[in-house]
Structure 1
């Protein structure tokens, strides 16, 4: 006895099993946070210098205070630097006055970047992740990662040869 589907039922099952192109694009689309992080990394310039005893990372972090910047080590060897620059706020203004003024304000030009700043660097094996220091001065962050000193070469060990 042969089991067969009638044609309408077969086409319905096939259409349920196949994912439409739009749905597949949505399922494979990058998340919003991934896109934001990627843009933040692209728009955060950095200089990386190697000295005999350290690695130095210099990043522009305009408008950020030291307490707004996060420097972390992830997964044991990834240096992660991040922060977020918000629109200008006037700390002396009262909240209601600020809201009213912002509602009336109209940007004529907005060239200064606002939003997330981020960079990640995989540190080399000789980086001492336990001794990292970071200093922020005039909107420039300098992160210093000391190098682990190379191991001293082992001296040859002499084994006494005995007479049997």
Structure 2
């Protein structure tokens, strides 16, 4: 017989996560099917925006980023660790499966120049701002 340490707060955190997932603003089929949501930071500077996601253990090749109609969608998959014939899991806390995050791009975002990098399990999506339109003089032509 093996003993397991009782962690009452684990159940509360699990319930909180399920409630957040249930009542999240995102109601698309993809978001409903996602099995976990990476933590996100969003920063703004004079030059642009940065969306930073924690995606440890996710192969960058398994991440898909699309920008369309003023929305940025980031989705991917983290493969589950598999037990072998010589070992079995005693506890599994790391989440695996698909994830899906959707963000509304601000009007000032330059969707054509979005770039993404991944380093040490952190995905950074850089969204530059569009250059502001400079005022220009318009010549008046005379119709005769």
Distance of 2:97 and 2:67 partners within structure 1: 22
Given candidates 101, 109, 112, the residue that maps to 1:119 is: 101
Q: Residues 114 and 127 of structure 2 are in contact (CA less than 8 Å); yes or no, is this contact kept in structure 1?
A: yes
Q: Which runs of 5+ in 2 are unaligned?
A: 1-26
Offset from partner CA, 1:39-86 (integer Å, 9 cap, x none): 53xx32100000101110000111012211111113x21111111111
- 1:93 aligned partner: none
SS of aligned partner of 2:131:
coil
Cα separation, 1, equivalents of 2:122 and 2:108:
25
Name the CA shift for 1:66/1:34 in 2 (closer, same or farther; >3 Å).
closer
Distance 2:30 2:75 in 1: 14
Larger radius of gyration: 1
* Change in 2 beyond 3 A, CA 1:62/1:125: same
Query: Under a length normalisation based on structure 1, what TM-score does the superposition of the two structures give?
Result: 0.61
Query: For 1:107, which of 79, 86, 89 is the aligned residue?
Result: 89
SS of the residue 1:110 aligns to: coil
Unaligned runs of 5+ in 1: 1-29, 90-97, 160-164
Structure 1 residues 33, 131: CA separation in 2 closer, same or farther (over 3 Å shift)? closer
Query: Does residue 86 in structure 1 map to residue 83 in structure 2?
Result: no
Q: How many residues align?
A: 116
* 1:32 CA displacement: 7.5
Hey, what does 1:147 align to over in structure 2? 129
Shift of 1:117: 2.0
Structure 1 residue 112 displacement after superposition: 0.6
Higher helix share: 1
| Residue of 32, 37, 59 corresponding to 1:35 | 32
Give CA-to-partner distance per residue, 1:124-144, whole Å, 9 cap, x none.
Answer: 111111101100001100000
After superposition, the CA RMSD in angstroms is 2.8
Post-superposition Cα deviations, 1:131-160, rounded to whole Å, max 9, x if no partner, equal 0110000110000011001111345x686x
